[in-house]
Amino acid sequence: MNLVSISENKNLEKRIAITPEIAKKYISLGFNLFLPKDYGSHLGFKDNNYKDLGVKILDDENEIISNANVIIQLNLPDEEKLSTLKEDQTLVGSLNTFVNKKKLDTLKTKKINCFSLELLPRITRAQSMDILSSQANLAGYKAVIEAFQIYERAIPMMMTAAGTIPAAKVLIVGAGVAGLQAVATAKRMGALVFATDVRMASKEQVESLGGKFLTVEGAENLETEGGYAKEASEDFKKKQEELLSETLKKIDIVICTALIPGKEAPKIIKEEMFKNFQQGTVIYDLAAIQGGNTVFTEVDKIVEKNGVKILGEANILNKLPVSASNLYAKNMFNFISNLYDKENKRLNINLEDEIIEKTLIK
């Protein structure tokens, strides 16, 4: 079978779906592997790194797609490339099913198999394929680094002959994978760390990393069966606002990570709360691309309100593209391995397999 990947729009996406390390594994699995010229050169992966492993490098991406059985990507290709796809080809990636619904519906009518890995079930067997967790882990780390870089004071407590500099106080809003990595990173760098989340299961995890969990009085556990956060009631939102408003008076840096799958990001930090911030506070909003957790977040801009700087990027992982690509490529390989019948050298779309059934766009 021919397995391929084509270049992403590098202005928007610097990550790649196949690294040389993983290319070798695909070939060992029995695939013929085709990539376009300069596929990974921007990350230091030269064409010869791939050729030496047996990868075929071609100039024409349309030719690559035309002869493909399986196409693996980060994002959904552009419309020109999608128009060249043919019946029975398989497309695998992070296809953003909520934003790209119409395009994916068109591909279904053409009988193209589309698998989107953000739909993976949260089961033990799927952990090695979980692109959301691997990428969010890096995003949580990098968000802290970016916020600390903008913050114009020291982070750890420092005792000097001239006096003591207090440790920075960091609040993590949303303690999922990204939030927990943010807790761990901020703590390692000497900050005092607080965190809040609608899922009560997060309390133990935050405390195990040395953070203090802020609990809304009378909180219920707002967690789906799949382990994601679900929308809070109006009563909960009001109590959370009151708790945050009071907490923000003493916070120096806020990392926002709260997302609800398939919906606009919840607006957690409201306009009136900005009156409570200290001058010089920094907010990094990882939810920016889905509308942001603050009312003032703008994608790829630093917005300043009442002396508070708010950052939010379309793709923070473009600042860690090599690490992110390495993890994404491994996730993707593990998914393809589960989908591939090595003995018969074909894909086995077995809908009794929960992983395959949940990720196939129907």
Domain spans, the chain? 2-119+324-359, 137-318
- For residue range 331-355, list pLDDT tens digits in order: 999 999 999 998 888 999 999 999 9
Nearest CA to 114 out of 138, 93, 99 is that of 93
Q: What percent of the chain has pLDDT over 90?
A: 84
133 belongs to the catalytic site: yes
Q: What percent of the chain has pLDDT over 70?
A: 95
Q: Which of 38, 122, 323, 353 is catalytic?
A: 122
Identify how many contiguous H helices and E strands the chain contains and give both numbers.
Answer: 11, 17
Class of domain 2-119+324-359: alpha beta
Looking at the DSSP assignment, which residues form a beta bridge with residue 173? 196, 256
For 205-230, what is the mean pLDDT?
A: 73
125 belongs to the catalytic site: no
- For residue range 59-109, list pLDDT tens digits in order: 999 999 999 999 999 999 999 999 999 999 999 999 988 789 899 999 999
Q: Which of 41, 83, 127, 233 is catalytic?
A: 127
Q: Which of 47, 228, 337, 353 is catalytic?
A: 228
Sorting pLDDT into bands at 50, 70 and 90, what band is 226?
low
Q: What is the pTM of this model?
A: 0.89
Q: What is the pLDDT of residue 237?
A: 74
**Helix, coil or strand: residue 158:** strand
Q: Which of 133, 135, 202, 240 is catalytic?
A: 133
Fold of 137-318: Rossmann fold (3.40.50)
228 belongs to the catalytic site: yes
Q: What is the pLDDT of residue 238?
A: 80
Identical fold, 2-119+324-359 and 137-318: yes
| pLDDT at residue 223 tops 80 | no
- For residue range 262-319, list pLDDT tens digits in order: 678 899 999 999 999 999 999 999 999 889 999 999 999 999 999 999 999 999 999 9
181 belongs to the catalytic site: no
122 belongs to the catalytic site: yes
Angle, helix 177-188 to helix 131-150, in steps of 10 degrees: 40
DSSP class of 274: G
